[in-house]
Amino acid sequence: MRFLFLLFIVLPIVEITVLLKVGQAIGAWYTVGLVLLSAFIGVNMLRHQGLATLSRAQQRLDRQEMPGQEMVEGIVLAVGGALLVTPGFVTDAIGFSCLIPPLRQAFVRLLMSRFTVIVASRAKSGMGANPRGDVDGRSSNAGRGGDVIEGEVVDRDDEKPR
């Protein structure tokens, strides 16, 4: 709840205050120019960082590994990109911090530790999924009350004489 208050009430007030102070110090048009320049630089950095993250994710998928870290990095990059296109210097500073690899890695570690706790708690309560995607080791149809019918497919065209 406090996070939402901070996000929707305090951050815009701080952002407007900083914009006004910078505008008074260097002029309104220079302030607008700086905001546009930071958005332009940020979007280009975001594109470069996003493609590198996508490439690493593809390499992990090719090795048949789950690209969990790359997926979380993608989320951090998306949030950073949204903050960079939002007018203001405070949001730009937060957005650029999402694009700097050491800071982004710190955000990713923080988020992944949080997700690990959530997943581990669900697994302990019997609601987790095993690597095959089955819930609690059962087949995907077993938990739905349906019958599982095993069988073999035989192509009859191969059995007919020619």
User: pLDDT tens for residues 101-110?
Assistant: 999 999 988 8
pLDDT score, position 47: 92
Average pLDDT over residues 40-47: 91
pLDDT score, position 76: 92
CB 76 within 8 A of CB 111: yes
- Other C-beta atoms within 10 Å of 94: how many? 16
pLDDT mean across residues, the chain = 80
CB 49 within 8 A of CB 99: yes
53: exposed, middle or buried (C-beta count within 10 Å: 0-12, 13-18, 19+)?
buried
Average pLDDT over residues 42-60: 92
Average pLDDT over residues 28-36: 94
pLDDT score, position 69: 86
pLDDT score, position 78: 92
